[in-house]
């Protein structure tokens, strides 16, 4: 599980172009949106594509994403449970 969390942090930084943020700066329970990493609605859509492409999880309702992308911790748990690849 900690490998998956590490992997997610790396992916978020590269795919969402968080140039000024280092992996160590993202704590497992930090909020990803709002005041946390400051991600926005396009980032949320991008994370939905990432779930599909890298883990074979298809979300059709963006509202679902809101809960899943709360933090690295929540995301990793969700992926571990639902991944098809």
- Chain contacts with other proteins (rule: CB under 8 A): 16-20, 38, 40-43, 45-46, 48-49, 52-53, 60, 62
Q: Looking at beta carbons only, is 46 or 73 nearer to other proteins?
A: 46
Strand partners, 33: 39
Q: Looking at beta carbons only, is 58 or 80 nearer to other proteins?
A: 58
| Closest by Cα among 79, 52, 58 to 68 | 79
Return left, alpha or beta for 17; rule: phi > 0 is left, psi -120 to 50 is alpha, else beta. Answer: left
Q: Looking at beta carbons only, is 17 or 29 nearer to other proteins?
A: 17
């Amino acid at each position: 599980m900690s490998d998956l969390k590490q992997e997610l942090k790396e992916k978020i930084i590269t795919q969402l172009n968080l140039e000024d943020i280092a992996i160590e700066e993202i704590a497992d329970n930090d909020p990803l949106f709002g005041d946390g990493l400051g991600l926005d609605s396009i980032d949320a859509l991008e994370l939905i594509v990432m779930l599909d492409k890298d883990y074979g999880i298809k979300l059709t309702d963006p509202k679902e994403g809101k809960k899943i992308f709360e933090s690295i911790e929540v995301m990793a748990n969700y992926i571990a449970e639902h991944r098809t690849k």
